[in-house]
Structure 1
Amino acid sequence: MKIGIYGQFYHKNSEIYIQMLLDALQKKAAKVLIEENFLEIINQNQEITKNFSECSTFTKLDSSFDLFFSIGGDGTILKAVTFVGDLGIPIVGINTGRLGFLATIQKETITESLNQILEGEYIISERSLLTVETKPESEEVPTLNFALNEVAVNRRNTTSMIKVETLVNDKYLTSYWSDGLIVATPTGSTGYSLSCGGPVIDPDSKNMILTPIAPHNLNARPLVIADSNTVTLKVYGREETFLMSMDSRIATLKNETKIIIKKADFTIKLVQLNDDSFIKTLRKKLLWGEDKRN
């Protein structure tokens, strides 16, 4: 079994969970590689007494990996997706952050959960992604032009609204006068889109969500469409440029650049414990069904 481990930065007490993970993998005689920059962060942190410098490292993944562990919050999982790409390697999220909608393992149950996963007692949740094309092409758009959560356009260096002309399958839908527009996947429905009033969508749904950000036209509402559609955006504003983000990756584009958003032709595999479900996660994270009146 070949395992990759990744994290963006050090969370408090992270060394405890890293050591527990390494101990569990060692018992399984797994070949373990830690992402190069993350290993450097681990060894530089003064709170960590154990030296992990002898661990093998990687800078890129290949299809020989069996599992990829992400240690951190949902943002770390989004970055982990850029390593995995279309390789089909299942991602296991260990949540050492806060809310953690995407994480497989909560730190309070790490030992039990790790044992289940390493025994193969889990299921795979296939998550759709979005891809982006711009016309004209822009050097600002990274080669990793896909997003697990959302593609969003936002105003830049101005307090003025922008106009986001929106087409679905080349047919004019509307123009959003707003701070921006989010095009989200079902996975992303519990992220930026939710904070802007978008609906919660089951990740198995074959949809995408259009959620305006602080719209001026008050009749503008979030819209759910089939993910077989193509969404095209054009942005106009007082400034010459605007921002486009793909999860956490940001590009600066010139006004009137055409942004073409489609469903990607590959999926991301998230490991899910057998007794977990999206409904259970919603109840736990959003405190649904709990009486808080007392």
Structure 2
Amino acid sequence: MTVPVLGLEELEAAARPRVVLDTVRAALIAHAEGRTTVPPPLHMEFPEAEGDCHVKAGWIAGGDDFTVKIASGFYRNSALGMPTNSGLVCVLSARTGQVRAVLDDRGWLTAWRTAAAGALITHAMSRPEAAMLGVFGTGEQARLQVRWLAMLRPLTKVLVCGRSERKAAALCEWLGGHGLDAEPAGAEEAAGADIVVTTTPATAPVLEADAVRPGAHVTGIGADMPHKNELPPALFRRAETIATDDHDQCLHHGDFGRAVRAGAVAQDCDIAAGALLLRQMQRSATAITVADLTGVGALDAALASALLRAAGA
């Protein structure tokens, strides 16, 4: 039997934002409730090429499919005129173990899943009236995080902080073309926004803990491997609520784990991100909240199945 291969065009047509958001929300809740199987991810680093690769797998109990995903990020590629991210997803039957399909997604399923998870958790944990967003990073994930969060709540201003002034300006122009008021900003200014989202491959904190204002929410997206680091331990110490998408995974190679090992917080002080989506979060007006998201394989499985159904495959 020939295994179907779905290309990026087919997947893009199926990946309507509402489909992705609803699927990821349900998968985060399932994971918080213990209805998933998610083995530890495999990861590799390629320092000479400033690249990394991770392999993640997952299954949601009762689901027809499980997935094994390869996702890479090679951060010098933009200078070569090539995409930073790539990869593919293998979808297998949870009934027979047979390969159902290969998704030649070039890393986009990971990007959509990450954007949806970040937007959902950021929206849930931010103050209802919070409307100024500071985003660290200028790549595709920064674009997606801003756009998808804007689908869930109005944003009055977007402050973009990036290593390259040219790329920060280009992102602001792109966001402006999509109806968002955006301008380049320094790290301290961006960190002082109502909502802060970090989307970088940084190996050292991109902001100072003291720059985050009382009442703010911060979501860290980029630290998905042990060598990466975006948020300082002192920020977690200041937080009233800390959410993780996967407790063990974030302990092992997320910024939450760095904060625990630094003695800033206890290792049992976090709450499952999916649990926060089941109810409206209660928070004080001056509380700082933090979410550490490292990417969960069960979300990939859920989204791959949803896109296969939407594509009629």
Calculate the TM-score normalised by the size of structure 2: 0.28
Say which structure is richer in helix. Answer: 2
Larger Rg: 1
Structure number with the bigger relative contact order (C-alpha 8 A, sep ≥ 6) is 2
Which has more strand, going by share of residues?
A: 1
